[in-house]
Amino acid sequence: MEKNNADEQQGQEEWISELLAISEEEKMTPKQLAILQAGIEIFSEKGYAAAATSEIAQRAGVAEGTIFRYYKTKKDLLLSIVSPAMTKMIAPFVLRNFDGVLDVPFDSYEAFMRAFMVNRLEFARKNFKILRIFVQEIPFQPALREQFIENVIGKVLERVTAITEHFKAKGEVIDAPTPSIIRFTISSVIGYLLARLLLLPDKDWDDAAEINLTLDFMLHGIAGPALRREE
Amino acid sequence: MEKNNADEQQGQEEWISELLAISEEEKMTPKQLAILQAGIEIFSEKGYAAAATSEIAQRAGVAEGTIFRYYKTKKDLLLSIVSPAMTKMIAPFVLRNFDGVLDVPFDSYEAFMRAFMVNRLEFARKNFKILRIFVQEIPFQPALREQFIENVIGKVLERVTAITEHFKAKGEVIDAPTPSIIRFTISSVIGYLLARLLLLPDKDWDDAAEINLTLDFMLHGIAGPALRREE
Amino acid sequence: MEKNNADEQQGQEEWISELLAISEEEKMTPKQLAILQAGIEIFSEKGYAAAATSEIAQRAGVAEGTIFRYYKTKKDLLLSIVSPAMTKMIAPFVLRNFDGVLDVPFDSYEAFMRAFMVNRLEFARKNFKILRIFVQEIPFQPALREQFIENVIGKVLERVTAITEHFKAKGEVIDAPTPSIIRFTISSVIGYLLARLLLLPDKDWDDAAEINLTLDFMLHGIAGPALRREE
Amino acid sequence: MEKNNADEQQGQEEWISELLAISEEEKMTPKQLAILQAGIEIFSEKGYAAAATSEIAQRAGVAEGTIFRYYKTKKDLLLSIVSPAMTKMIAPFVLRNFDGVLDVPFDSYEAFMRAFMVNRLEFARKNFKILRIFVQEIPFQPALREQFIENVIGKVLERVTAITEHFKAKGEVIDAPTPSIIRFTISSVIGYLLARLLLLPDKDWDDAAEINLTLDFMLHGIAGPALRREE
DNA sequence: CATGAATGAGCATTCATTCAT
DNA sequence: GATGAATGAATGCTCATTCAT
């Protein structure tokens, strides 16, 4: 994770095909892949409404009509890009914990949060453009919003609540309202991701150090000696 | 601030005219005000690219041509809405002693942060739609981005750094890299604003309690007894 | 006539008011004059269809609505500019003894043609922009065309035919079909005017010499010794 | 050429396609041809500025968008109509005379001028509407004017000067300033073309006779016996 | 499968004209 | 008289979508 070198390009196509394929068996044609790739680029550059299907076709190297063979409408293409990404983004929260057994494979809250940040940073880096589209379009696409509410607010929040309370019970997390704790935690993580990938992507980041710092802030706060509460 | 009741509508028109007017003397005509109001609504609902000037005109109750008497282009209307809002949004950081929030050193970092959160929450509530437009359009409008970089990255960051190091020197803030502290702080504040206004605006919030909680997290972390660092 | 110096500007306003005034008594207001002046400039620069009344108003220094106080429509303004000019342009052929050019038989055809060319060149120079508008708009304005056909084809041609046959009878003009002679004559004159004022206005013209040359060509042709017909 | 019957329509489509096609191989689609044809008609009837693309589309029997598949803008359509016509119009002056050898394949100036008039009259008759557009739009289209100056003033004038001086040397043309001779000559020719095609197209013209007459006027003038210079 | 010509509704913008002040 | 705010029809142009080849 310390290596910031641009290996994003390498293996990107495979990632996309893996991420977006409805199922592993159903392989995509090269043209369909090119359309998706072009769609991701143009949508993230110009936004959905301002993106022209003709430009997507051109960048994909296919005829305009070909797009509509694979995707009935422009919106269909958008959802075909963003929807699977949302699923994968929250997959860690949904996949584990089958048959009701809470499965937190980490010794400590700190280890869990560190693994989580590393893992999601990696994911966000690989799917940066798609996530950008997702964030930009969620205010305008009811279909996306519904899916988001159902999955994230529904499943993820439930899971995260369970995890948080698990560590609360172990005394590793303060005894405060869980929703507030979750909001604070997620704010800190996403805040780092945004600064890292969106605001200052060109800065020379030391991810390991920054994650440690952020974790320390989250756990012990930023109060200096003068303000530290006696315990 | 505890009153969450929807007094946003009340006095809203005055706010907008106050916020956007180039100068206080230069009063806007009612039609221009209606256009701005309609623009704010439609832009925030549909996004700039998907908003039709015809719909703005209709909602404003004016002829389509009237819009273009006041604003040369659709983009002009957008910038006339968003630009002054950005200026006001960062005004506390740029103007000296605006609202007494910044320039007069607060007794403590905590008091300062509390005042800041209260003040900006109030501002964000009043200008919610405009801020929404701002956030949605900044990726696509170079003019906005330039203004943002110049003002926020330029002036605000400088100011915030000074303040942070002021409190660091007083021992109220931990001795860690200032940029990381600022990122963490802003993440927590904005995270609260987003949850409060965007994600769950209908929840029954107790703003004072949430702000206190958030401040406590920021200063002392969320580590429970088991994890607390001995000092 | 030898002085090519730009005294066009000097006295131009008087000329326009004189040329366009419906009657001498009915004096124009300064605003109306400014509108006409601006109309002449913008129409000749951009053509009638591409000229905006707002631009005319701006250049005239009046409000947009003011134009329509004086001229019911944009077309009205056009005709108010061009119509009187057409009348004046053909006045020598219609009025008796105007300027002494036509009615009093000149001593010779050559003297007549020279006087005519000098006189109309002077006129065309003074009313260059208006004539330009006239030529540019006559294909598209039925009102203009009717007026032109009635006056020029009707009155002027009749008069010119009479004059030509007068000199034909005196043996000064060749015994050939009068319409062909007139066509040839007018072609030569207008050809000079166009080259002089439109195509190469910046060339250093010696009008007297060129008119003499043109007259010589018209009367005796451009055949050299080898081709000259024995008589 | 004596037949004045309206065979302009017959074969006109082929002419247009031949005239405008970038190369013979690159055949136009019927729709593109219809658009050009409609453009020629509407532009020549109403002028470029007053012509509506919707009307062109309607007359061409295509959807409005189709025009813009073939021509990026309305101005593009105009230039695609007029530009090649200008090239063809001056082709006779440009094509011959390669590698510096002056090639005047005519025994006498008279034969040359007659052939020239016949040839250009034929051309003008076939491309009447396009030439009309050209003349009407050249004052307003800088692109046209540049092309005109470069080609006509540049190449044609040079060539015509050479030809005139060739016949001057042979004693067939009078020893007078060449520019004046050219102006006079072109005036006479164009004067005939305008009268023939524009002013009085419905008159029963005897082209051969009129051309002979015009040639006689050009060469020997219109002076009658009383004025004839003794030689 | 793939193409790209064709469509036509929709859009931002212009502009002659009106009319209350 | 003079103004200029307001209008709304008209315009050039774009673009998602269809469909014959």
Q: Would the pLDDT of B101 be above 60?
A: no
Q: Give phi and psi for C173, each to the nearest 5.
A: -120, 140
Residue D78 CA, chain-centre distance (Å), reads: 17
Q: Find where tokens 């701002």 sit.
A: B134
State the virtual CA torsion across A148, A149, A152, A153 in degrees, nearest 10. 160
The answer to the question of residue C29 being in a domain is: yes
Of the ranges B43-52, B87-96, C2-11, which one carries the lowest mean pLDDT score?
A: C2-11
Q: Greater confidence, C8 or A172?
A: A172
Give the CATH number, domain containing residue C43: 1.10.10.60
Residues with CB under 7 A from strand F: A 50-54, 64-65, 67-68, 72-75; B 29, 31-32, 62-66, 68-69; C 29, 31, 62-66, 68-70; D 51-54, 64-65, 68, 72-75
Q: Are residues C102 and C37 in the same domain?
A: no
Nearest nucleotide relative to C52: CA against C1': E15
**Per-residue pLDDT tens over the stretch D99-132:** 444 566 677 899 889 988 998 999 999 999 999 9
Q: Are residues A61 and A94 in the same domain?
A: no
Q: Which residues contact C211 (CB under 8 A, 6 or more apart)?
A: C114, C117, C118, C121, C192
Q: Would the pLDDT of C1 be above 80?
A: no
pLDDT value at residue D219: 94
Q: Which chains touch C (3 or more CB pairs under 8 A)?
A: D
Q: Which residues of B touch A190 (CB under 8 A)?
A: 187, 191
Question: How many Cα atoms are found within 13 Å in the side-chain-facing hemisphere of D145?
Answer: 9
Q: Would the pLDDT of B12 be above 70?
A: no
What's the CA gap between B48 and B65, in Å, rounded? 19
Residue D173 bridge partners (DSSP): C223
Q: Which among C14, C49, C70 is the end of a domain?
A: C70
pLDDT value at residue A24: 47
Chain F positions within 7 A of any protein Cβ atom are 1-20
Domain that holds residue D180: 81-227
Q: Which residues of B touch A195 (CB under 8 A)?
A: 183, 187
What's the CA gap between C154 and D52, in Å, rounded? 35
Q: Is C218 exposed, middle or buried (0-12, 13-18, 19+ CB in 10 A)?
A: buried
**Per-residue pLDDT tens over the stretch C194-222:** 999 998 999 999 999 999 999 999 999 89
CA Rg value for chain B: 20
pLDDT value at residue A101: 47
Q: Which residues contact D6 (CB under 8 A, 6 or more apart)?
A: none
HEC-encoded secondary structure of C16-67: HHHHHCCCCCCCCCHHHHHHHHHHHHHHHHHCCCCCCHHHHHHHHCCCHHHH
The answer to the question of residue B207 being in a domain is: yes
Q: Are residues C125 and C219 in the same domain?
A: yes
What's the CA gap between A31 and D80, in Å, rounded? 36
Is A187's CB within 8 Å of B185's CB? no
Give the CATH number, domain containing residue A211: 1.10.357.10
Q: Greater confidence, A58 or D155?
A: A58
Is A191's CB within 8 Å of B186's CB? yes
Q: Would the pLDDT of D98 be above 70?
A: no
**Per-residue pLDDT tens over the stretch D187-206:** 999 999 999 998 889 999 99
pLDDT value at residue B57: 97
For chain C, the farthest-separated pair of C-alpha atoms sits apart, in whole angstroms, at 69
Q: Are residues A54 and A122 in the same domain?
A: no
Q: Would the pLDDT of D84 be above 70?
A: yes
CA Rg value for chain D: 20
The pLDDT-based confidence of D62 (bands split at 50, 70, 90) is: very high
Identity of the residue numbered C171: G
Q: Find where tokens 């590793």 sit.
A: A172
- Give the tokens for residue B44: 């925030």
The answer to the question of residue A13 being in a domain is: yes
Contact criterion met (CB below 8 Å) for C72 and C65: no
pLDDT value at residue C14: 64
**Per-residue pLDDT tens over the stretch B111-156:** 889 988 998 899 999 999 999 999 999 999 999 999 998 888 888 8
The answer to the question of residue B48 being in a domain is: yes
Q: Are residues D61 and D15 in the same domain?
A: yes
Q: Would the pLDDT of B88 be above 60?
A: yes
With distances taken from each CA to the C1' atom of nucleotide F19, the closest residue turns out to be A65
Three-class secondary structure of residue A214 per DSSP: helix
Q: Are residues B129 and B173 in the same domain?
A: yes
Compute the nearest-CA separation of D222 from chain C (Å).
Answer: 5
Q: Which residues of C touch D50 (CB under 8 A)?
A: 49, 140
What's the CA gap between B146 and B141, in Å, rounded? 9
**Per-residue pLDDT tens over the stretch C82-137:** 999 988 888 877 765 444 444 545 778 898 899 889 989 999 999 999 999 999 99
Contact criterion met (CB below 8 Å) for D108 and D166: no
Neighbours of B208 (CB within 10 A): 12
Contact criterion met (CB below 8 Å) for D80 and D36: yes
Q: Give phi and psi for B173, each to the nearest 5.
A: -125, 140
Q: Would the pLDDT of C11 be above 70?
A: no
What's the CA gap between A83 and A133, in Å, rounded? 11
**Per-residue pLDDT tens over the stretch B63-76:** 999 999 999 999 99
pLDDT value at residue C181: 96
- Give the tokens for residue B143: 């003019």
Chains A and B touch (3+ CB pairs under 8 A): yes
Q: Are residues C173 and C121 in the same domain?
A: yes
Residue B154 touches partner A, C-beta closer than 8 Å: no
The pLDDT-based confidence of B7 (bands split at 50, 70, 90) is: very low
Q: Which among B45, B70, B95 is the end of a domain?
A: B70
Q: Find where tokens 């009063």 sit.
A: B27
- Give the tokens for residue D40: 């020629």
Size of chain C, expressed as the number of residues it contains = 231
Of the ranges A148-157, C9-18, D176-185, which one carries the lowest mean pLDDT score?
A: C9-18
For A:80-99, CB contacts with B below 8 A are: none
Average pLDDT over residues D36-42: 97
Contact criterion met (CB below 8 Å) for C36 and C15: no
The answer to the question of residue B76 being in a domain is: no
The pLDDT-based confidence of B38 (bands split at 50, 70, 90) is: very high
Residue B184 touches partner A, C-beta closer than 8 Å: yes
The pLDDT-based confidence of A99 (bands split at 50, 70, 90) is: very low
Q: Which residues of A touch B192 (CB under 8 A)?
A: 183, 187
**Per-residue pLDDT tens over the stretch C149-190:** 888 888 888 888 988 998 998 899 999 999 999 999 999 999
Q: Greater confidence, C55 or D199?
A: C55
Residue B116 CA, chain-centre distance (Å), reads: 11
Cα angle D196, D199, D202; round to 5: 65
Identity of the residue numbered B144: L
Identity of the residue numbered A15: W
**Per-residue pLDDT tens over the stretch B202-215:** 999 999 999 999 99
The answer to the question of residue D75 being in a domain is: no
Q: Are residues C212 and C166 in the same domain?
A: yes
> Domain count of chain D?
2
Q: Would the pLDDT of D32 be above 60?
A: yes
Residue A223 bridge partners (DSSP): B173
Give DSSP secondary structure letters for A46-96.
H-TTT--HHHHHHHHTS-HHHHHHH-SSHHHHHHHHHHHHHHHHTHHHHHS
pLDDT value at residue D20: 63
Residue C181 touches partner D, C-beta closer than 8 Å: yes
**Per-residue pLDDT tens over the stretch A118-162:** 988 989 998 999 999 999 999 999 999 999 988 888 888 888 898
What's the CA gap between D28 and A98, in Å, rounded? 66
Q: Are residues A35 and A119 in the same domain?
A: no
**Per-residue pLDDT tens over the stretch B167-220:** 888 888 999 999 999 999 999 999 999 999 988 889 999 999 999 999 999 999
The answer to the question of residue A97 being in a domain is: yes
Question: How many Cα atoms are found within 13 Å in the side-chain-facing hemisphere of B41?
Answer: 14
What's the CA gap between A189 and A52, in Å, rounded? 34
Q: Are residues C40 and C97 in the same domain?
A: no
For A:156-175, CB contacts with B below 8 A are: 167-168, 170-175
Compute the nearest-CA separation of C26 from chain D (Å).
Answer: 34
- Give the tokens for residue C213: 């040359």
What's the CA gap between D159 and D154, in Å, rounded? 9
pLDDT value at residue A213: 94
Give DSSP secondary structure letters for A16-37.
HHHHH-SSSSSPPPHHHHHHHH
Give DSSP secondary structure letters for D78-92.
HHHHHHHHHHHHTHH
Average pLDDT over residues A210-221: 93
Compute the nearest-CA separation of C17 from chain D (Å).
Answer: 27
Residue C223 bridge partners (DSSP): D173
Q: Give phi and psi for D223, each to the nearest 5.
A: -65, 135
Is C183's CB within 8 Å of D191's CB? yes
Q: Which among D39, D70, D101 is the end of a domain?
A: D70
What own/partner pairs with CB < 8 Å and gap ≥ 24 does D18-21 have?
Answer: D19/D84, D19/D85, D19/D88, D19/D127, D19/D130, D20/D80, D20/D81, D20/D84, D20/D85
Q: Which residues of A touch B213 (CB under 8 A)?
A: 176-177, 180
Per the prediction, chain D carries an average pLDDT of 86
What's the CA gap between D39 and C62, in Å, rounded? 38
Q: Would the pLDDT of D24 be above 50?
A: no
What's the CA gap between D82 and D59, in Å, rounded? 19
Q: Are residues B104 and B178 in the same domain?
A: yes
Chain E positions within 7 A of any protein Cβ atom are 1-20
Compute the nearest-CA separation of B34 from chain A (Å).
Answer: 24
pLDDT cut 90: percent of chain B above it: 53
Average pLDDT over residues D54-61: 96
Q: Are residues D40 and D112 in the same domain?
A: no
The answer to the question of residue C75 being in a domain is: no
Compute the nearest-CA separation of A31 from chain B (Å).
Answer: 28
Q: Which residues contact B1 (CB under 8 A, 6 or more apart)?
A: B118, B121, B122, B207, B208
